[in-house]
A and B are shown apart, each in its own frame.
Chain A
Amino acid sequence: MSVTAPKKLSLKERYRILTRGLDWTPTYQEPAKIFPHAEFEGIKIRDWDGFVDPFRLTMDSYWKYQAEKERKLYAVLDSFQQNNGQTAITDGRYVNVLKIFLTAITPGEYQAHRGFAMLGRQVPNVGLRIAAQMQSLDELRHAQTQIHSCSHYNKYFDGLHSFSYQHDRVWYLSVVKSFFDDARTSGPFEFLIAIGFSFEYVLTNLLFVPFMSGAAYNGDLSTVTFGFSAQSDESRHMTLGLEAIKFILEQHEDNAAIVQKWIDKWFWRGYRILAILAMMMDYMLPKRIMPWKDAWDIYFNEAGGALFGDLARYGIKMPNTAEVANKEAFRLSTETMLTFYQMGHASGFHSWLPSEDELKWLAEAYGPEWERLYLPRFKYFRELEAKGEHYYNPSLPQLCQVCQIPMFFTEPDDPTKICFRDTVYNGDRYHFCSDGCQHIFEGEPEKYVQAWLPVHQVMQGNCGGATIDEIRKYWRVEDGEDNYDYVGSPDETMWKSWQADRLKVGS
């Protein structure tokens, strides 16, 4: 054998040789011991080689692409800090969006990073493992770049200072934490459907649009740059999610029933998290992008409709709760906002009532029923504020056993009536916000009875004490700084002093 002139290799061939060739069939250890998670979920794979690698990326190209993106991103972050870009946002209120982002979403990116590492180790197919490993790296990138993007804001604004600590403890953050804990404690296929497909493919645009377009509309150069930089990662992740679900469905007809159950579950779980995004879009962005309902129509009903049309040939149907989500679309943001407004004393970010102009915008977006139902409430809260009696709800809310959101959602067909569901399991009664959450519970009661429900934990004395002061200390929510209304907050005082300086300089 000696070396002669090289033959031409197609990229596809080259990728196949450099990756698929890496594996071998182990003989000194049982494959089932090396890949112990591969079979317990009941998914049947006839031929692992049937998985087609969606993006044929070798590691050297990965390093090159990603390094180039990071060079650009960090150049922007550096200049943002030097030029105090935080002063260029539309309004100090905007930063509350970042507070939610950093405390709720960034730790979720981290969980995705660890979850894809698990997948990248456990799936018995090289191509899928490599794709999962690269996504694991990407998700670590997202967590770290978000922390770095928000770092400069943290030097000036409250509520960003203890994001990872709070994610483990604060009541509304357990909604997101339990979502990712749920996915990560599942097997590899369910994780793939939960995060790779349902979250990344079906719902990711609904996450991306509010945050990134919101940042763009509101002068937040730091977050915009991160967002656009992450977009090319996201398109890889979406492709992986779609290829993976098709692969699983094509492997065996028995898989469809299991996958459908997961789609139903993870659609509803993901959708429940989006309630806080709906609130952000309709109430928190000083300059609005579009009403939540429009985003839902475009990104779920249109895009998702086409997707599920595509999957129909495998016997996969639209999630069974999509109709309920549609019925909630006009009120989701408002029901959520009104709850957080009343829980301002127990939150790590500020809330505030919408202005007259904003109410007009909402009424136009959501129509007469919305006006009839909610305008009186805003009027009532405004009158209380005028008297110096901002309403804060002193009681602890009951939480849904599955999504962990307080029981404030209303009946699908009656927005004046809170939706309560319950079920008895092993002699105990469990409560749910919706049929969707109840069905999820009934599918795996032994899992959901374990939930670390913040309100239960407070009542059991596991959160620093029984008084709100003690509990806030446990949460590291600084009283009088991080919480209550934006009006009168240190954030507002600082923002106003910047504005005053701006006027002086401008005159």
Chain B
Amino acid sequence: MHIDIKAASLQQKRQAYKHLAKRFGEDRPASRYEEGTLDLAPEANFHYRPLWDADHELYDKTRSKITMKDWYALRDPRQFYYANYNITRAGQIESVEHNFDMVEKRGMLTAIPAEWVERITFYLLPLRHYEWGANMNNCQITALGHGTALTAPTCFAMGDRLGIAQLIGRIGLALASNNETALNAAKDAWVNHPDWQGVRKMVEDSLVLEDPMELFLAQNLALDGIVYPLVYGAFSRESDRRGGAAISFLCSFMNEWYEETGKWVDAVIKVAAAENDENKALLKSWFAIWEARAVAAFKPLSVAVLGAEAGAQAIADVEATLKARAAKLGIA
């Protein structure tokens, strides 16, 4: 039985947890993103050095060369916490399911010319291995990055990249009438085809990066900044022309995801770069290295999919866009 208690005796003693009120400079109600993120990670008085990294504390800012007065300045503009993250993705997955149903019902994949199916197998399906690398990299940042403002969204990105890898896998199954053949051919291309080796080497090299912030920039800005516009932009447009519009349709989640996630990536880099000149110089140099590697790695694929001239043009366009984006973030 619920009995009303007079409003007078239900006077609130405080509006927010104190660490939040301290940050806000006032005792005001906090959002669920703020409650679930700010000052959540341990900061002091660690008991034992890691057996796997005796040079650092368990949680240690100095794992990155980037310095921040406050690592919680690296906020996520989407304000994701676990619940709204999953609810957002579940909604998007419903549209993905709907798209798969429609493509199947209308036999849209059977309508794709055989030689273009082979091209899709060659350029799109190996990317599930690229996504798996991106999953591991965001997982690594989640394990070793500093501050929950950074590491909670990288944990969500880790989940996203597994989801995208599996979405590409589903496309691979659908293209081969649920046989593994197309995915096996794609894996063979990933491991052996000369056009893919620059990409695979770049991904393997990223897996041994030690600075979590360099890894963040390399994976989420420099590499993705080339891959997504090139594959889900330029290659998709080509696919539309070649009778493979169904593929762009099935990949619409990737475009939507890239646009949304880019806002978070930009916010993190922008704030880190604006923090001090040393950060800016570091991010600049990392960006220069990884952006150039991504362009060089994807050029052979661009040419293979779009032809020599259009392929070179597409990668140049994508690079120009990424550089303009980096300039806005203060690291070009």
Footprint of B on A, CB under 8 Å? Answer: 1-9, 14, 17-19, 21-29, 33-34, 36-37, 40, 58-60, 62-64, 66-68, 70-71, 73-74, 83-84, 87-88, 107, 110-111, 113-114, 117-118, 120-122, 129-130, 133-134, 136-137, 140-141, 143-145, 147-148, 151, 154-158, 160-165, 167-169, 174, 177-178, 181-182, 184-187, 447-448, 450-452, 457, 476, 490, 494, 497-498, 500-502, 504-506
Contact = CB atoms under 8 A, between A and B. Distances in A.
B82 A144 contact: yes
B204 A23 contact: no
Contact of A63 (B89, B109, B182): B89
Given A3-B177, A67-B86, A451-B47, A21 B187 contact: yes
B47 A181 contact: yes
A147 B36 contact: yes
Given A1-B114, A84-B10, A177-B42, A17 B90 contact: no
Given A2-B114, A133-B158, A505-B4, A120 B87 contact: no
A184 B114 contact: no
Interface stretch (B15-23, B276-284, B309-317): B15-23
Contacts of A2: 110, 112-114, 117
Contacts of B42: 107, 110-111, 164, 167-168, 177
Interface string B88-104: 01110100110000001
B260 interface: no
Contacts of B264: none
B129 A22 contact: yes
25 contacts: A2-B112, A8-B178, A18-B169, A21-B169, A21-B187, A22-B128, A24-B187, A34-B207, A59-B166, A63-B93, A63-B163, A67-B89, A87-B10, A110-B40, A114-B41, A118-B144, A122-B143, A134-B159, A147-B35, A148-B32, A157-B13, A162-B18, A164-B41, A452-B46, A494-B13
Top 10 A-B residue pairs of the complex, sorted by shortest distance between their CB atoms: A67-B90, A59-B163, A144-B36, A70-B83, A117-B142, A118-B143, A22-B132, A117-B143, A181-B47, A63-B89
A133 B208 contact: no
B265 to A, nearest CB: 19
Contacts of B36: 143-144, 147-148
A452 B45 contact: yes
Contacts of B204: 26-29, 34
B179 interface: yes
B19 A164 contact: yes
Nearest to A188: B52
Nearest to B4: A505
| Interface residue SS majority, chain A | helix
Given A21-B180, A60-B93, A70-B87, 11 more contacts: A1-B117, A17-B183, A67-B87, A111-B42, A117-B155, A133-B159, A136-B158, A145-B82, A151-B35, A162-B17, A476-B18
A117 B114 CA distance: 42
A388 B259 CA distance: 66
Nearest to B32: A148
B201 A28 contact: yes
B19 A165 contact: yes
B179 to A, nearest CB: 7
Which of A27, A134, A162, A164 has its CB near the most chain B CB atoms (within 10 A)? A164
A111 B52 CA distance: 17
